[in-house]
Amino acid sequence: MRIAMIGTGYVGLVSGACFADFGHQVTCVDKDADKIKALQRGEIPIFEPGLDELVAANVRARRLDFTTDLSSPVAEADAVFIAVGTPSRRGDGHADLTYVYAAAKEIARALTGFTVVVTKSTVPVGTGDEVERLIRETNPSADVEVASNPEFLREGAAIRDFKWPDRIVVGISDERGRKVLGDIYRPLSLNQAPVMYTARRTAELIKYAANAFLATKITFINEIADLAEKVGADVQEVARGIGLDNRIGSKFLHAGPGFGGSCFPKDTRALVKIAQDHDAQLRIVEAVLGVNDNRKRAMARKVASAAGGSLRGKTVAVLGLTFKPDTDDMREAPSIPLVTGLLDMGARVRAHDPVGMEQAKRELPDIEYCEDPYACAKGADVMVLVTEWVQYRAMDLERLKAAMAQPVVVDLRNVYRAEDMAAHGFIYESVGRPPQARG
Protein backbone atom coordinates (compact mmCIF):
# COMPACT_ATOMS: atom_id res chain seq x y z
CA MET A 1 0.00 0.00 0.00
CA ARG A 2 1.09 3.58 -0.61
CA ILE A 3 0.77 5.88 2.38
CA ALA A 4 1.23 9.63 2.76
CA MET A 5 1.86 10.72 6.36
CA ILE A 6 1.17 14.43 6.85
CA GLY A 7 3.26 15.66 9.77
CA THR A 8 6.62 14.39 11.03
CA GLY A 9 6.14 15.02 14.72
CA TYR A 10 6.10 12.27 17.30
CA VAL A 11 3.02 10.45 16.00
CA GLY A 12 3.70 10.97 12.30
CA LEU A 13 7.33 9.93 12.35
CA VAL A 14 6.84 6.85 14.51
CA SER A 15 3.74 5.75 12.58
CA GLY A 16 5.35 6.39 9.20
CA ALA A 17 8.50 4.45 10.09
CA CYS A 18 6.49 1.52 11.48
CA PHE A 19 4.17 1.38 8.46
CA ALA A 20 7.25 1.33 6.21
CA ASP A 21 8.68 -1.48 8.30
CA PHE A 22 5.49 -3.46 7.58
CA GLY A 23 6.44 -3.25 3.90
CA HIS A 24 4.27 -0.32 2.81
CA GLN A 25 5.60 2.57 0.73
CA VAL A 26 5.49 5.64 2.98
CA THR A 27 6.20 9.30 2.30
CA CYS A 28 6.29 11.62 5.31
CA VAL A 29 5.40 15.23 4.53
CA ASP A 30 6.13 18.33 6.59
CA LYS A 31 6.11 22.06 5.86
CA ASP A 32 9.25 22.56 7.97
CA ALA A 33 11.97 22.44 5.32
CA ASP A 34 14.79 22.33 7.88
CA LYS A 35 13.21 19.32 9.60
CA ILE A 36 12.79 17.49 6.29
CA LYS A 37 16.41 18.18 5.31
CA ALA A 38 17.54 16.87 8.69
CA LEU A 39 15.46 13.71 8.28
CA GLN A 40 16.88 13.20 4.80
CA ARG A 41 20.35 13.37 6.41
CA GLY A 42 19.28 10.75 8.93
CA GLU A 43 18.90 13.17 11.86
CA ILE A 44 15.90 12.35 14.05
CA PRO A 45 14.30 15.43 15.69
CA ILE A 46 12.94 13.57 18.73
CA PHE A 47 14.40 11.08 21.17
CA GLU A 48 12.61 7.73 21.01
CA PRO A 49 14.52 4.49 21.63
CA GLY A 50 15.09 2.57 18.40
CA LEU A 51 13.53 5.16 16.11
CA ASP A 52 16.77 6.28 14.46
CA GLU A 53 17.65 2.70 13.47
CA LEU A 54 14.11 2.01 12.24
CA VAL A 55 14.06 5.13 10.07
CA ALA A 56 17.52 4.46 8.67
CA ALA A 57 16.71 0.84 7.78
CA ASN A 58 13.55 1.76 5.89
CA VAL A 59 15.16 4.70 4.10
CA ARG A 60 17.89 2.30 2.91
CA ALA A 61 15.20 -0.13 1.76
CA ARG A 62 13.53 2.75 -0.14
CA ARG A 63 10.23 2.22 1.63
CA LEU A 64 10.41 5.54 3.51
CA ASP A 65 11.18 9.04 2.26
CA PHE A 66 10.59 12.65 3.28
CA THR A 67 9.41 15.73 1.43
CA THR A 68 7.85 19.16 1.83
CA ASP A 69 5.70 18.63 -1.28
CA LEU A 70 2.31 17.19 -0.39
CA SER A 71 0.77 16.95 -3.85
CA SER A 72 2.59 13.98 -5.38
CA PRO A 73 2.52 11.65 -2.34
CA VAL A 74 -1.19 12.34 -1.78
CA ALA A 75 -2.09 11.83 -5.45
CA GLU A 76 -0.41 8.39 -5.39
CA ALA A 77 -1.62 7.29 -1.95
CA ASP A 78 -4.16 4.66 -1.02
CA ALA A 79 -4.39 6.28 2.40
CA VAL A 80 -3.40 9.71 3.70
CA PHE A 81 -2.86 10.04 7.44
CA ILE A 82 -3.18 13.43 9.11
CA ALA A 83 -0.72 13.47 12.02
CA VAL A 84 -0.25 17.17 12.68
CA GLY A 85 -0.25 18.89 16.05
CA THR A 86 -3.44 19.66 17.99
CA PRO A 87 -2.13 21.76 20.89
CA SER A 88 -4.37 23.28 23.54
CA ARG A 89 -5.83 26.49 22.19
CA ARG A 90 -4.61 29.44 24.20
CA GLY A 91 -7.23 30.81 26.52
CA ASP A 92 -9.91 28.12 26.56
CA GLY A 93 -8.30 24.66 26.56
CA HIS A 94 -9.96 23.48 23.35
CA ALA A 95 -7.81 21.50 20.91
CA ASP A 96 -6.47 23.84 18.23
CA LEU A 97 -7.47 22.25 14.92
CA THR A 98 -5.91 24.89 12.67
CA TYR A 99 -3.27 22.50 11.32
CA VAL A 100 -5.74 19.64 10.84
CA TYR A 101 -8.12 21.73 8.78
CA ALA A 102 -5.31 23.31 6.74
CA ALA A 103 -3.98 19.83 5.95
CA ALA A 104 -7.47 18.65 4.93
CA LYS A 105 -7.81 21.46 2.39
CA GLU A 106 -4.35 20.81 0.92
CA ILE A 107 -5.02 17.09 0.73
CA ALA A 108 -8.32 17.71 -1.04
CA ARG A 109 -6.65 19.63 -3.84
CA ALA A 110 -4.20 16.78 -4.50
CA LEU A 111 -6.57 13.78 -4.38
CA THR A 112 -6.85 11.49 -7.41
CA GLY A 113 -8.71 8.18 -7.42
CA PHE A 114 -10.23 6.53 -4.36
CA THR A 115 -8.38 7.54 -1.18
CA VAL A 116 -8.94 7.08 2.53
CA VAL A 117 -8.08 10.17 4.56
CA VAL A 118 -7.37 9.21 8.17
CA THR A 119 -7.13 11.48 11.21
CA LYS A 120 -4.31 10.07 13.33
CA SER A 121 -4.01 13.24 15.39
CA THR A 122 -6.00 13.37 18.63
CA VAL A 123 -9.06 15.41 17.72
CA PRO A 124 -12.38 16.31 19.37
CA VAL A 125 -15.54 14.39 18.55
CA GLY A 126 -16.93 15.58 15.24
CA THR A 127 -13.61 16.66 13.73
CA GLY A 128 -13.82 13.92 11.10
CA ASP A 129 -17.17 15.34 9.99
CA GLU A 130 -15.59 18.75 9.45
CA VAL A 131 -12.56 17.25 7.69
CA GLU A 132 -14.90 15.45 5.29
CA ARG A 133 -16.93 18.63 4.71
CA LEU A 134 -13.80 20.65 3.95
CA ILE A 135 -12.48 18.02 1.53
CA ARG A 136 -15.75 17.76 -0.36
CA GLU A 137 -16.15 21.54 -0.41
CA THR A 138 -12.60 22.02 -1.73
CA ASN A 139 -12.77 19.17 -4.24
CA PRO A 140 -16.39 18.12 -4.95
CA SER A 141 -15.28 15.38 -7.35
CA ALA A 142 -12.99 13.67 -4.85
CA ASP A 143 -13.60 9.94 -4.33
CA VAL A 144 -12.74 9.89 -0.65
CA GLU A 145 -13.68 8.38 2.68
CA VAL A 146 -12.63 9.95 5.98
CA ALA A 147 -11.72 7.73 8.93
CA SER A 148 -10.53 8.14 12.50
CA ASN A 149 -7.62 5.97 13.64
CA PRO A 150 -6.38 7.31 17.01
CA GLU A 151 -2.91 6.44 18.23
CA PHE A 152 -2.18 4.85 21.61
CA LEU A 153 1.59 5.23 21.78
CA ARG A 154 3.57 5.69 24.98
CA GLU A 155 6.62 7.88 24.60
CA GLY A 156 9.67 5.75 25.30
CA ALA A 157 7.91 2.58 24.11
CA ALA A 158 6.22 3.83 20.95
CA ILE A 159 7.66 1.35 18.46
CA ARG A 160 6.70 -1.64 20.58
CA ASP A 161 3.24 -0.15 21.18
CA PHE A 162 2.75 0.31 17.43
CA LYS A 163 3.88 -3.20 16.51
CA TRP A 164 2.30 -5.02 19.46
CA PRO A 165 -0.79 -2.91 20.22
CA ASP A 166 -3.50 -3.72 22.74
CA ARG A 167 -6.02 -2.78 20.07
CA ILE A 168 -6.40 -0.88 16.81
CA VAL A 169 -9.41 1.44 16.69
CA VAL A 170 -10.77 2.41 13.27
CA GLY A 171 -13.74 4.71 12.92
CA ILE A 172 -15.22 4.27 9.45
CA SER A 173 -18.50 3.07 7.94
CA ASP A 174 -17.54 2.61 4.28
CA GLU A 175 -16.60 -0.94 3.25
CA ARG A 176 -13.99 0.19 0.72
CA GLY A 177 -12.30 2.26 3.39
CA ARG A 178 -12.41 -0.63 5.87
CA LYS A 179 -10.65 -2.84 3.32
CA VAL A 180 -7.87 -0.30 2.73
CA LEU A 181 -7.19 0.12 6.45
CA GLY A 182 -7.53 -3.62 7.00
CA ASP A 183 -4.83 -4.19 4.38
CA ILE A 184 -2.58 -1.56 5.95
CA TYR A 185 -2.82 -3.18 9.38
CA ARG A 186 -2.83 -6.80 8.13
CA PRO A 187 0.84 -7.37 9.12
CA LEU A 188 -0.27 -7.06 12.75
CA SER A 189 -2.65 -10.02 12.42
CA LEU A 190 0.24 -12.34 13.30
CA ASN A 191 0.40 -10.59 16.67
CA GLN A 192 -3.36 -11.15 17.07
CA ALA A 193 -3.95 -7.44 17.62
CA PRO A 194 -7.72 -6.87 17.74
CA VAL A 195 -9.03 -4.39 15.17
CA MET A 196 -12.12 -2.60 16.45
CA TYR A 197 -14.27 -0.97 13.78
CA THR A 198 -16.64 1.70 15.07
CA ALA A 199 -18.47 4.80 13.95
CA ARG A 200 -16.09 7.70 13.36
CA ARG A 201 -17.29 9.78 16.31
CA THR A 202 -17.01 6.79 18.62
CA ALA A 203 -13.37 6.28 17.64
CA GLU A 204 -12.64 9.95 18.34
CA LEU A 205 -14.18 9.69 21.80
CA ILE A 206 -12.38 6.43 22.63
CA LYS A 207 -9.01 8.21 22.49
CA TYR A 208 -10.05 10.98 24.87
CA ALA A 209 -11.83 8.61 27.22
CA ALA A 210 -8.79 6.33 27.43
CA ASN A 211 -6.40 9.15 28.30
CA ALA A 212 -8.81 10.68 30.81
CA PHE A 213 -9.24 7.33 32.56
CA LEU A 214 -5.49 6.76 32.84
CA ALA A 215 -5.00 10.30 34.12
CA THR A 216 -7.69 9.57 36.70
CA LYS A 217 -5.86 6.45 37.90
CA ILE A 218 -2.66 8.46 38.36
CA THR A 219 -4.44 11.23 40.21
CA PHE A 220 -6.32 8.76 42.40
CA ILE A 221 -3.18 7.03 43.63
CA ASN A 222 -1.49 10.41 44.19
CA GLU A 223 -4.31 11.45 46.50
CA ILE A 224 -4.13 8.10 48.26
CA ALA A 225 -0.39 8.76 48.69
CA ASP A 226 -1.17 11.99 50.54
CA LEU A 227 -3.53 10.11 52.83
CA ALA A 228 -0.98 7.31 53.33
CA GLU A 229 1.57 9.82 54.62
CA LYS A 230 -0.96 11.18 57.12
CA VAL A 231 -2.06 7.80 58.49
CA GLY A 232 1.28 5.99 58.41
CA ALA A 233 0.59 3.63 55.50
CA ASP A 234 2.77 2.76 52.50
CA VAL A 235 1.21 3.78 49.19
CA GLN A 236 3.33 1.33 47.20
CA GLU A 237 1.89 -1.57 49.15
CA VAL A 238 -1.59 -0.05 48.82
CA ALA A 239 -1.11 0.19 45.04
CA ARG A 240 0.04 -3.42 44.85
CA GLY A 241 -2.84 -4.54 47.03
CA ILE A 242 -5.49 -2.94 44.84
CA GLY A 243 -3.64 -3.56 41.57
CA LEU A 244 -3.74 -7.32 42.06
CA ASP A 245 -7.50 -7.06 41.64
CA ASN A 246 -7.87 -7.75 37.91
CA ARG A 247 -10.80 -5.34 37.75
CA ILE A 248 -8.36 -2.55 38.64
CA GLY A 249 -4.93 -3.62 37.37
CA SER A 250 -1.52 -2.40 38.49
CA LYS A 251 -0.62 -0.03 35.66
CA PHE A 252 -0.72 3.73 36.26
CA LEU A 253 -0.86 3.26 40.03
CA HIS A 254 2.56 4.73 40.78
CA ALA A 255 2.47 7.74 43.07
CA GLY A 256 4.56 10.73 42.03
CA PRO A 257 4.62 14.46 41.35
CA GLY A 258 1.66 14.48 38.95
CA PHE A 259 1.16 13.60 35.30
CA GLY A 260 2.54 15.61 32.40
CA GLY A 261 3.50 15.06 28.78
CA SER A 262 1.96 15.81 25.44
CA CYS A 263 -1.28 13.86 25.91
CA PHE A 264 -2.86 13.63 29.36
CA PRO A 265 -3.00 17.34 30.30
CA LYS A 266 -4.00 18.48 26.82
CA ASP A 267 -6.53 15.74 26.20
CA THR A 268 -8.23 15.92 29.58
CA ARG A 269 -8.65 19.68 29.18
CA ALA A 270 -10.05 19.20 25.68
CA LEU A 271 -12.46 16.50 26.86
CA VAL A 272 -13.85 18.83 29.52
CA LYS A 273 -14.38 21.51 26.87
CA ILE A 274 -16.11 19.04 24.55
CA ALA A 275 -18.46 18.08 27.38
CA GLN A 276 -19.20 21.73 28.18
CA ASP A 277 -19.96 22.44 24.52
CA HIS A 278 -22.52 19.62 24.57
CA ASP A 279 -24.03 20.55 27.95
CA ALA A 280 -22.64 17.45 29.69
CA GLN A 281 -20.77 17.39 32.98
CA LEU A 282 -17.51 15.54 33.53
CA ARG A 283 -16.96 16.37 37.18
CA ILE A 284 -14.47 13.56 37.76
CA VAL A 285 -12.26 14.70 34.88
CA GLU A 286 -12.53 18.33 36.00
CA ALA A 287 -11.40 17.29 39.48
CA VAL A 288 -8.50 15.30 38.01
CA LEU A 289 -7.21 18.42 36.27
CA GLY A 290 -7.46 20.55 39.40
CA VAL A 291 -5.85 17.98 41.68
CA ASN A 292 -2.99 17.37 39.25
CA ASP A 293 -2.22 21.08 38.84
CA ASN A 294 -2.23 21.60 42.60
CA ARG A 295 -0.02 18.58 43.15
CA LYS A 296 2.67 19.77 40.78
CA ARG A 297 2.77 23.14 42.50
CA ALA A 298 2.89 21.48 45.94
CA MET A 299 6.10 19.56 45.20
CA ALA A 300 8.29 22.62 45.80
CA ARG A 301 6.76 22.98 49.26
CA LYS A 302 7.54 19.33 49.92
CA VAL A 303 11.19 20.00 49.08
CA ALA A 304 11.27 23.06 51.33
CA SER A 305 9.83 21.05 54.21
CA ALA A 306 12.49 18.35 53.84
CA ALA A 307 15.19 21.04 53.81
CA GLY A 308 14.05 22.52 57.12
CA GLY A 309 11.29 24.83 55.98
CA SER A 310 13.24 27.40 53.97
CA LEU A 311 15.15 27.23 50.69
CA ARG A 312 16.42 30.80 50.60
CA GLY A 313 20.09 30.78 49.71
CA LYS A 314 20.20 27.00 49.46
CA THR A 315 21.28 24.91 46.47
CA VAL A 316 18.85 22.31 45.15
CA ALA A 317 19.98 19.57 42.74
CA VAL A 318 17.21 18.31 40.44
CA LEU A 319 17.67 14.93 38.73
CA GLY A 320 15.37 14.34 35.79
CA LEU A 321 13.58 17.04 33.82
CA THR A 322 11.53 15.29 31.14
CA PHE A 323 8.00 14.24 32.06
CA LYS A 324 9.00 10.54 31.95
CA PRO A 325 12.11 8.45 31.16
CA ASP A 326 13.20 7.51 27.63
CA THR A 327 11.99 10.72 26.02
CA ASP A 328 13.26 14.27 25.61
CA ASP A 329 9.72 15.66 25.85
CA MET A 330 9.35 18.57 28.28
CA ARG A 331 5.69 19.32 27.55
CA GLU A 332 3.79 19.83 30.82
CA ALA A 333 6.66 18.17 32.71
CA PRO A 334 6.27 18.25 36.53
CA SER A 335 9.84 19.56 36.71
CA ILE A 336 8.73 22.93 35.30
CA PRO A 337 6.40 24.04 38.13
CA LEU A 338 8.74 22.37 40.62
CA VAL A 339 11.82 24.31 39.51
CA THR A 340 9.80 27.52 39.14
CA GLY A 341 8.57 27.09 42.71
CA LEU A 342 12.06 26.40 44.01
CA LEU A 343 13.36 29.57 42.35
CA ASP A 344 10.45 31.56 43.78
CA MET A 345 11.46 30.33 47.23
CA GLY A 346 14.97 31.72 46.77
CA ALA A 347 16.81 28.50 45.93
CA ARG A 348 19.69 28.12 43.51
CA VAL A 349 18.84 25.23 41.18
CA ARG A 350 21.15 22.85 39.35
CA ALA A 351 19.74 20.15 37.10
CA HIS A 352 20.69 17.07 35.09
CA ASP A 353 18.77 14.95 32.61
CA PRO A 354 20.23 12.21 30.37
CA VAL A 355 18.68 13.52 27.12
CA GLY A 356 16.33 16.42 27.87
CA MET A 357 18.57 19.32 28.87
CA GLU A 358 18.57 21.13 25.52
CA GLN A 359 14.77 21.07 25.46
CA ALA A 360 14.64 22.03 29.15
CA LYS A 361 16.72 25.15 28.57
CA ARG A 362 13.84 26.65 26.57
CA GLU A 363 11.48 26.18 29.51
CA LEU A 364 13.92 26.74 32.37
CA PRO A 365 16.65 29.13 31.22
CA ASP A 366 17.57 30.47 34.67
CA ILE A 367 19.16 27.39 36.21
CA GLU A 368 22.53 25.66 35.96
CA TYR A 369 22.80 22.48 33.89
CA CYS A 370 25.32 19.79 34.85
CA GLU A 371 27.05 17.08 32.86
CA ASP A 372 26.30 14.22 35.25
CA PRO A 373 24.23 13.58 38.39
CA TYR A 374 27.17 13.70 40.79
CA ALA A 375 28.32 17.08 39.46
CA CYS A 376 24.72 18.22 39.88
CA ALA A 377 24.67 17.07 43.52
CA LYS A 378 28.04 18.62 44.43
CA GLY A 379 27.57 21.12 47.24
CA ALA A 380 23.77 20.78 47.17
CA ASP A 381 21.72 21.22 50.32
CA VAL A 382 18.99 18.96 48.97
CA MET A 383 18.64 16.66 45.96
CA VAL A 384 15.29 15.99 44.28
CA LEU A 385 14.71 12.96 42.06
CA VAL A 386 11.96 13.98 39.65
CA THR A 387 12.16 11.58 36.68
CA GLU A 388 12.95 7.92 37.26
CA TRP A 389 15.61 7.49 34.57
CA VAL A 390 17.44 4.18 34.88
CA GLN A 391 20.68 6.15 35.31
CA TYR A 392 19.41 7.35 38.70
CA ARG A 393 18.20 4.02 40.06
CA ALA A 394 21.51 2.63 41.30
CA MET A 395 23.59 5.64 42.24
CA ASP A 396 26.61 5.25 44.53
CA LEU A 397 25.05 6.51 47.75
CA GLU A 398 28.37 7.00 49.53
CA ARG A 399 29.68 9.10 46.65
CA LEU A 400 26.42 11.01 46.53
CA LYS A 401 26.49 11.80 50.23
CA ALA A 402 30.12 12.89 50.06
CA ALA A 403 29.31 15.27 47.21
CA MET A 404 26.40 17.00 48.94
CA ALA A 405 26.64 19.81 51.49
CA GLN A 406 23.67 18.29 53.37
CA PRO A 407 22.49 14.67 52.95
CA VAL A 408 18.86 15.49 52.16
CA VAL A 409 17.10 13.60 49.35
CA VAL A 410 13.52 14.07 48.18
CA ASP A 411 12.55 11.10 46.01
CA LEU A 412 9.36 11.98 44.12
CA ARG A 413 9.31 8.60 42.34
CA ASN A 414 10.05 6.27 45.28
CA VAL A 415 13.05 4.84 43.46
CA TYR A 416 15.02 4.09 46.63
CA ARG A 417 14.19 2.11 49.73
CA ALA A 418 13.87 4.23 52.85
CA GLU A 419 15.92 1.80 54.95
CA ASP A 420 18.84 1.93 52.49
CA MET A 421 18.84 5.72 52.53
CA ALA A 422 18.68 5.77 56.33
CA ALA A 423 21.56 3.29 56.56
CA HIS A 424 23.70 5.69 54.50
CA GLY A 425 22.79 8.61 56.75
CA PHE A 426 20.42 10.47 54.46
CA ILE A 427 17.43 12.52 55.51
CA TYR A 428 15.05 10.94 53.04
CA GLU A 429 11.60 12.11 51.94
CA SER A 430 9.51 10.06 49.52
CA VAL A 431 5.89 9.96 48.39
CA GLY A 432 3.12 8.21 50.26
CA ARG A 433 5.26 6.47 52.85
CA PRO A 434 4.89 6.64 56.62
CA PRO A 435 6.90 9.28 58.50
CA GLN A 436 8.88 6.70 60.47
CA ALA A 437 10.25 5.26 57.19
CA ARG A 438 11.89 8.51 56.11
CA GLY A 439 15.20 8.05 57.82
- Write out pLDDT tens, residues 178-197: 999 999 999 998 878 899 99
- Are residue 179 and residue 262 in the same domain, yes or no? no
Region of 279 on the Ramachandran plot (φ > 0 left; ψ -120 to 50 alpha; else beta): left
Query: Of 198, 222, 237, which marks where a domain is finished?
Result: 198
- Identified catalytic residue from 18, 263, 370, 376: 263
Amino acid at 235: V
In a domain, 206, yes or no: no
pLDDT at 438: 43
DSSP 273-292: HHHHHTT---HHHHHHHHHH
- Both 267 and 353 in a single domain? yes
357/84 Cα distance (integer angstroms): 25
For the four alpha carbons of 300, 305, 311 and 314, in that order, the dihedral sign comes to: negative
364 Cβ partners below 8 Å, 6+ apart? Answer: 321, 335, 336, 339, 340, 351
Position 62 in a domain: yes
Are residues 217 and 189 located together in one domain of the fold?
A: no
Using alpha carbons, select from 6, 1, 4, 17 the residue that is nearest to residue 159: 17
Query: Could you tell me if 222 and 175 lie in one domain?
Result: no
Residue 263: active-site member? yes
274 with 179, same domain?
no
Reading the chain (439 residues) residue by residue, the pLDDT tens digits are 999 999 999 999 999 999 999 999 999 999 999 999 999 999 999 999 999 999 999 999 999 999 999 999 999 999 999 999 999 887 778 899 999 999 999 999 999 999 999 999 999 999 999 999 999 999 999 999 999 999 999 999 999 999 999 999 999 999 999 999 999 999 998 878 899 999 999 999 999 999 999 999 999 999 999 999 999 999 999 999 999 999 999 999 999 999 999 899 999 999 999 999 999 999 999 999 999 999 999 999 999 999 999 999 999 999 999 999 999 999 999 999 999 999 999 999 999 999 999 999 999 999 999 999 999 999 999 999 999 999 999 999 999 999 999 999 999 999 999 999 999 999 999 999 986 444 4
CATH of the domain at 54: 3.40.50.720
Same domain, 23 and 71: yes
Count CB neighbours of 218 within 10 A: 21
User: How high is the pLDDT of residue 193?
Assistant: 85
Q: Specify whether 189 is located in the same domain as 276.
A: no
342 domain residue, yes or no = yes
Which of 162, 177, 168 is closest to 150 using CA atoms?
168
| Within a domain: 152 | yes
Q: CA angle, corner 207, sides to 87 and 259, nearest 5? A: 60
Q: pLDDT at position 89, please?
A: 83
CB atoms inside a 10 Å sphere around CB 156: 17
Q: Which of residues 198, 233, 250 is at a domain's end?
A: 198
**33 neighbors 43 (Cβ within 8 angstroms):** no
Whether 369 and 429 share a structural domain: yes
Single residue among 143, 173, 198 that ends a domain in this structure = 198
Residue 7 sits in the same domain as residue 136: yes
pLDDT of residue 56: 97
- 124 and 254 in a single domain? The answer is no
Sign of the Cα torsion 98, 101, 104, 108 reads negative
pLDDT of 435 reads 62
- pLDDT of 262: 87
Q: Are residues 102 and 225 in the same domain?
A: no
Domain extent, residue 334, equals: 213-437
Q: What is the pLDDT of residue 437?
A: 43
List the one residue out of 264, 216, 274 whose CA is nearest residue 94.
274
The rounded distance, in Å, linking the Cα atoms of 129 and 126 is: 5
3-class DSSP state of 64 = strand
pTM: 0.92
Collapsing DSSP states into helix, strand and coil, what is residue 226?
helix
Determine, yes or no, domain membership for 204: no
Number of structural domains found in the chain: 2
Q: Are residues 118 and 161 in the same domain?
A: yes
Q: Is residue 203 part of a domain?
A: no
Going by their DSSP bridges, the two strands 348-352 and 315-319 should be labelled as: parallel
Residue 205 lies in a domain: no
In a domain, 208, yes or no: no
